[in-house]
């Protein structure tokens, strides 16, 4: 239907919609995050759910303690190499459709601990991340902004064809390998099907 | 509190053949420390804790130092007395070398608060504490082989993506790029 | 058959059953057609806190734990009754106080019995 006609109809008190819109409207307003915090960003995440910021306004009503009941993994804080397999395993145990927000500098890239001996250089090396939030830690407003960005992303997903959500796609991968503890590093150091090093210019090469 | 020299002579009087050495600190803080001989360390530590006048009942901190030159690992203990309200007294112990003779006696049986810190030093420096009740790695996983706080530790080559590299990181990133182009045959 | 007095009841029963089962069936059909299942060993793992499970869940607990639990429960319930009692205490008569005293004494007797039996010593 023509978008202008739709708006005109809505002005007259008639709501026209499609199955896809209705389906995505339901999905985007009932994203349940997992109750899972890693470091100081988790404190901001907790503040976001409390009365002042109130993430429940956007449909993230309850934080589920079981990955089976959660749709959204908020990686809130530093992912140490010792913790990374647990995070990946939890992500694997979530039911489709599942989404990931990488919250804060550490979850994105390792942040201030990037060159540390026990910090993973970004959780996106092992699992697909939908929304990145910079900040150290990001303010609750930033998390809400990221959450709204994720809702927009869900609302824009078509139900068929290219770009459809993974739970409707038989070919989309369902298992993301959990890294093993190696003698010097996690093995493998990154999941090649998920992460490629971005092309950056380094002076001197 | 007694001066470090007085404590040293008190130890020598109480523990025969203690082999305690004074390590002077020439900085303005003048925190001189005592170097213990590993074989007598437990006896000396027991004396320091149980002596009525010294009564060092609180171990506040244990740390490790790696000395590639002249080649030993050092463990430093900071003692305070809650009963007498004095401190700190600083104890040091040194291993024979950095490779195979890295055993030191654990002081966990004397001060329980040393347990996790000695585990951490075992993990990060590789000092093996004999007599420790539960000597496992604390921060790194059990399968890990290296000791990250040693000065010759080389961290894994995961410098694929360094958007703001500088100094040592820049060198590693350039090295990584070179190895990548060699292995891909370009 | 339609004249049977139970016919309307049976029809209502079937309708009620259908009302409950139809959404379930629709959901099952929807999932069957549009949402391909992708099970794997990690996803099907029993333990849900990120760590791999090891060992057996069939371990022995001390029975003293359950005794502690029951004694706690008794006094937990007692607090529920004591709180409203305390709120309206000044406007209560002697009979109500005596009744409450009997109630509390009965529970204390139970505690004394458990104490004498050595339930509270944990070793």
Helical axes A19-28 vs A140-155, angle rounded to 10°: 160
Q: Identify from A19, A34, A38, A92 which residue to disrupt to test chain C contact, counting C C-beta atoms within 10 A and taking the largest count.
A: A92
Q: How far is the first Cα of chain C from the last one, in angstroms, to the nearest whole number?
A: 73
Helix H segments across C37-118? Answer: 63-87, 94-116
* Whether residue A106 has pLDDT greater than 90: yes
The Cα B91–Cα B129 span in angstroms is 16
A88-97, A175-184, C12-21, C113-122: lowest mean pLDDT where?
A: C113-122
pLDDT at B55: 93
Residue A149 lies inside a defined structural domain of this protein: yes
- Chain B residue numbers with beta carbons less than 8 Å from the beta carbon of A182 are 143
Question: What is the number of domains present in chain C?
Answer: 1
B149 and B163, same structural domain? no
Residue C44 lies inside a defined structural domain of this protein: no
Query: What pLDDT band is residue C5 in, cutting at 50, 70 and 90?
Result: confident
Taking residues C2-17, what's their average pLDDT? 89
Question: What is the number of domains present in chain B?
Answer: 2
B176 and B133, same structural domain? no
Decide: B113 and B120 in contact? Cβ < 8 Å. Answer: no
Q: Identify from A89, A175, A179, A180 which residue to disrupt to test chain C contact, counting C C-beta atoms within 10 A and taking the largest count.
A: A89
B78 and B127, same structural domain? yes
Burial of residue C24 (number of CB atoms within 10 Å: 0-12, 13-18, 19+)? exposed
Query: What pLDDT band is residue A205 in, cutting at 50, 70 and 90?
Result: low
Taking residues A98-123, what's their average pLDDT? 91
A70-79, A189-198, C57-66: lowest mean pLDDT where?
A: C57-66
Query: Is C48 close to A67, i.e. CB distance below 8 A?
Result: yes
Task: Return the structure tokens found at B80.
Answer: 């305070």
Identify the three-state secondary structure at position B34. Answer: strand
Residue A98 lies inside a defined structural domain of this protein: yes
B135 and B43, same structural domain? yes
Q: What residue of C is the nearest CA neighbor of A170?
A: C36
Report which DSSP code applies to B77: E
B134 and B169, same structural domain? no
pLDDT at A204: 62
B143 and B52, same structural domain? yes
The Cα A73–Cα A90 span in angstroms is 9
Query: Is B156 close to A115, i.e. CB distance below 8 A?
Result: no
Which CATH number characterizes residue A106's domain?
3.40.50.12280
The Cα B49–Cα B46 span in angstroms is 5
- Chain C residue numbers with beta carbons less than 8 Å from the beta carbon of A173 are 38
The Cα A164–Cα A50 span in angstroms is 33
Query: Is A183 close to B145, i.e. CB distance below 8 A?
Result: yes
Burial of residue A155 (number of CB atoms within 10 Å: 0-12, 13-18, 19+)? middle
Number of C-beta neighbours around residue B183 at 10 A: 8
Query: Is A96 close to C38, i.e. CB distance below 8 A?
Result: yes
pLDDT at A108: 92
Residue C103 lies inside a defined structural domain of this protein: yes
Q: Residue A108: which domain range? A: 31-157
ipTM of the complex in this document: 0.83
B23 beta partners: B33
Q: Is it true that the peptide bond before A97 is cis, omega within 30 degrees of 0?
A: yes
Shortest alpha-carbon distance between residue A70 and chain C (Å): 12
* Whether residue B166 has pLDDT greater than 60: yes
* Whether residue B186 has pLDDT greater than 60: no
pLDDT at A167: 85
* Whether residue A126 has pLDDT greater than 70: yes
Taking residues B61-88, what's their average pLDDT? 93
B176 and B145, same structural domain? no
The residues, ordered by sequence, that sit 6+ positions from B70 with a Cβ below 8 Å of its Cβ are: none
Residue C91 lies inside a defined structural domain of this protein: yes
The residues, ordered by sequence, that sit 6+ positions from B19 with a Cβ below 8 Å of its Cβ are: B36, B37, B39, B40
Task: Return the structure tokens found at B139.
Answer: 């921060």
Decide: B71 and B95 in contact? Cβ < 8 Å. Answer: no
- Tell me the pLDDT of chain A averaged across its residues: 90
- Tell me the pLDDT of chain B averaged across its residues: 91
B145 and B53, same structural domain? yes
B141 and B58, same structural domain? yes
Residue A7 lies inside a defined structural domain of this protein: no
Q: Residue C109: which domain range? A: 63-116
Decide: A130 and A99 in contact? Cβ < 8 Å. Answer: yes
B146 and B105, same structural domain? yes
Residue found by looking up tokens 């908020």 in the block: A74
Which CATH number characterizes residue B49's domain?
3.30.460.80
Q: Residue B24: which domain range? A: 4-153
The Cα B175–Cα B160 span in angstroms is 10
Q: Which helix (H) or strand (E) is A42 found in, with range?
A: helix A41-49
Residue A170 in contact with partner chain C when CB distance is under 8 A: yes
What are the tens digits of pLDDT across the range A38-57? Answer: 999 999 999 999 999 999 99
B73 and B24, same structural domain? yes
Residue A104 Rama label (left phi>0; alpha psi -120 to 50; beta): left
The residues, ordered by sequence, that sit 6+ positions from A153 with a Cβ below 8 Å of its Cβ are: A99, A130, A131
What are the tens digits of pLDDT across the range B107-140? Answer: 999 999 999 999 999 999 999 999 999 999 999 9
Residues 103-162 of B with CB under 8 A from A: 139-146, 148, 153, 155-156, 158, 160-162
pLDDT at A29: 93
Task: Return the structure tokens found at B183.
Answer: 């292995």
Identify the three-state secondary structure at position B58. Answer: strand
Residue A26 lies inside a defined structural domain of this protein: no
Taking residues B3-28, what's their average pLDDT? 92
Question: What is the number of domains present in chain A?
Answer: 1
């Amino acid at each position: 239907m023509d978008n202008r006609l739709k708006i005109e109809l809505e002005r007259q008190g008639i709501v026209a919609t499609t199955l896809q819109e209705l389906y995505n409207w339901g999905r985007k307003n009932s994203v349940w995050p997992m109750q899972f915090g890693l470091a100081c960003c988790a404190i901001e995440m907790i503040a976001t759910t409390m009365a002042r910021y109130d993430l429940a306004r956007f449909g993230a009503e309850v934080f589920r303690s079981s990955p089976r009941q959660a749709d959204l993994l908020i990686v809130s804080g530093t992912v140490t190499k010792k913790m990374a397999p647990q995070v990946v395993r939890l992500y694997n145990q979530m039911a489709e459709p599942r989404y990931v927000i990488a919250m804060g500098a550490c979850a994105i890239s390792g942040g201030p601990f990037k060159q540390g001996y026990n910090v993973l250089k970004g959780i996106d090396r092992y699992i697909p991340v939908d929304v990145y939030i910079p900040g150290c830690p990001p303010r609750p407003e930033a998390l809400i902004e990221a959450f709204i960005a994720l809702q927009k992303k869900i609302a824009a997903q078509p139900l068929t064809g290219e770009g459809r959500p993974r739970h409707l796609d038989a070919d989309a991968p369902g298992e993301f390998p959990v890294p093993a503890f190696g003698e010097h590093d996690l093995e493998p150091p990154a999941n090649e099907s998920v992460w490629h090093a971005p092309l950056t210019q380094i002076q001197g090469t | 509190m007694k001066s470090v020299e007085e404590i040293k002579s008190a130890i020598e009087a109480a523990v025969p053949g203690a082999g305690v050495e004074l390590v002077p600190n020439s900085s303005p803080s003048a925190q001189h420390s005592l170097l213990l001989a590993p074989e007598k360390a437990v006896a000396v530590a027991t004396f320091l804790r149980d002596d009525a006048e010294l009564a060092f009942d609180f171990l506040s901190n244990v740390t490790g130092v790696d000395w590639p030159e002249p080649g030993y690992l050092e463990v430093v203990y900071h003692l305070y007395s809650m009963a007498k309200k004095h401190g700190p007294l600083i104890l040091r112990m040194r291993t024979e070398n950095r490779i195979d003779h890295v055993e030191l006696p654990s002081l966990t049986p004397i001060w329980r608060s040393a347990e996790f810190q000695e585990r951490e030093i075992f993990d990060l420096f590789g000092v093996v504490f004999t007599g420790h009740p539960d000597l496992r790695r604390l921060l790194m996983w059990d399968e890990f082989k290296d000791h990250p706080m040693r000065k010759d530790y080389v961290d894994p080559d995961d410098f694929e993506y360094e958007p703001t590299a500088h100094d040592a990181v820049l060198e590693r990133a350039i090295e990584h790029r070179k190895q990548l182009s060699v292995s891909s045959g370009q | 058959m339609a004249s049977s007095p139970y016919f309307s009841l049976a029809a209502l029963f079937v309708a009620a059953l259908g009302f409950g089962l139809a959404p379930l069936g629709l959901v099952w059909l929807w999932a069957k057609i549009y949402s391909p299942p992708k099970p794997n060993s990690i996803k099907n793992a029993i333990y849900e806190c990120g760590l791999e499970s090891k060992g057996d869940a069939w371990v022995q607990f001390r029975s003293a734990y359950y005794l502690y639990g029951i004694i706690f429960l008794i006094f937990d319930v007692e607090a529920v009754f004591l709180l409203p009692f305390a709120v309206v205490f000044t406007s209560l008569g002697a009979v109500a106080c005596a009744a409450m005293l009997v109630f509390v004494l009965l529970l204390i007797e139970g505690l004394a019995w458990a104490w004498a039996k050595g339930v509270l010593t944990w070793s």
